[in-house]
Amino acid sequence: MRGFAHVDTWVFDLDNTLYPASCRLFDQIDVKMGDFVSRLLGIDHAEAKRRQKDMFYKYGTTLRGLMTEHGIAPDDFLDYVHDIDHSPVPPNQALDDALHALPGRKLIFTNGTVAHAEKVLARIGITHHFGDIFDIVHSDFIPKPEMGPYRKFVAQTGIRPETSAMFEDIARNLEAPHELGMTTVLVVSDQNRDAAHLNAASGGVDQTHIHHVTDDLAGFLGAIVAHQGKERA
């Protein structure tokens, strides 16, 4: 199993990765995406939800599906679906402590927006750990799991993939990082229904591009720090 002794850069997805899916924050976004599709296409909410999920599974984001199939401009969609109540995201002192102890650079790579990420990080209490947020606007609205955004992320941030680790809740979003040479970690939760569905459909957690799996991000990072400390002792 690939370890972390060589890692000097830590890259984190945002939604349902840095905060627990159990707080149901993304449910609010999910509802608003369904509402947007319902109004755009003039269909009832049940059909809109089905169409929205189909686009998410096919294109990586609902937005990409709407841009590809219906030619929408992205700004109104992004502003609408991220206009939510972020208060359900709980502070996480254990994660703050683990990130503080973890040596190296920390970055966010999300299919969401910078504004949404900043609100989430502030709620968790970990804003100060992250030097850069690479969002869907930076990726020209092309989402993970496409390879293009990862290459642009690497070029823009100047990271070395071979000394970087990436943490994600969706298994297919780790295929490109693995191909680029990154160490990959899948963050799982039985509360994360969309990710569980996608991950099961793509082959589960035992795929070659998934190097590690955890259901406790703070604990996992803490174990890395502890292990590195023993190696230096």
How many residues does the structure list for the chain?
A: 233
SS3 at position 160: coil
Mean pLDDT score of the chain: 95
Instruction: Please give the Cα distance from 224 to 83 (Å, whole number).
Output: 36
CB atoms within 10 A of CB 105: 18
Q: Are residues 35 and 77 in the same domain?
A: yes
Antiparallel, parallel or unpaired: β 212-214 and 183-187: parallel
Residue 3 lies in a domain: no
Are residues 51 and 112 both part of a single domain? no
Give the whole-angstrom CA distance, residue 182 versus residue 107.
14
Give pLDDT tens digits for 71-113. 999 999 999 999 999 999 999 999 999 999 999 999 999 999 9
35, 121: one domain: no
Note whether 181 and 167 are same-domain residues: yes
- Examine residue 143 and state whether it is found in any structural domain, yes or no: yes
- Is position 4 within any domain? no
Does residue 173 sit in the same domain as residue 125?
Answer: yes
Whether residue 157 is predicted with pLDDT greater than 50 in this model: the reply is yes
Q: Are residues 75 and 100 in the same domain?
A: no
Average pLDDT of the segment spanning 134-152: 97
Residue 231 has pLDDT above 90, yes or no: no
Predicted local distance difference test score (pLDDT) of residue 202? 86
Instruction: For the chain, list the strands marked E by DSSP.
Output: 9-12, 105-109, 132-134, 164-168, 183-187, 212-214
155 and 76 belong to one structural domain: no
Split into its structural domains, the chain has a count of: 2
Flag the least confident range among 98-107, 152-161, 221-230: 221-230
Helix (H) or strand (E) holding 227: helix 217-232
For residues 104 and 202, state if they share a domain. yes
Can you tell me which residue has the tokens 């984190």?
12
φ and ψ of 184, to 5 deg: -120, 145
Residue 115: both structure tokens together? 């504004």
Peptide bond into 145 cis (omega under 30): yes
Question: Which pLDDT does position 74 carry in this prediction?
Answer: 96
**Residue 136 resides in a domain:** yes
29 with 108, same domain: the answer is no
User: Do 120 and 190 have their domain in common?
Assistant: yes
Give the CATH number of the domain where residue 29 resides.
Answer: 1.10.150
Residues 112 and 182 in one domain: yes
Domain around 60: 25-81
| DSSP reduced 3-state for 183 | strand
pLDDT tens digits for range 195-212: 999 999 888 898 999 999
- Predicted local distance difference test score (pLDDT) of residue 19: 97
User: Does 233 have pLDDT greater than 50?
Assistant: no
pLDDT tens digit sequence for 56-69: 999 999 999 999 99
- Give the CATH number for residue 212: 3.40.50.1000
- Cα torsion for 184, 190, 196, 197, to the nearest 10°? 180
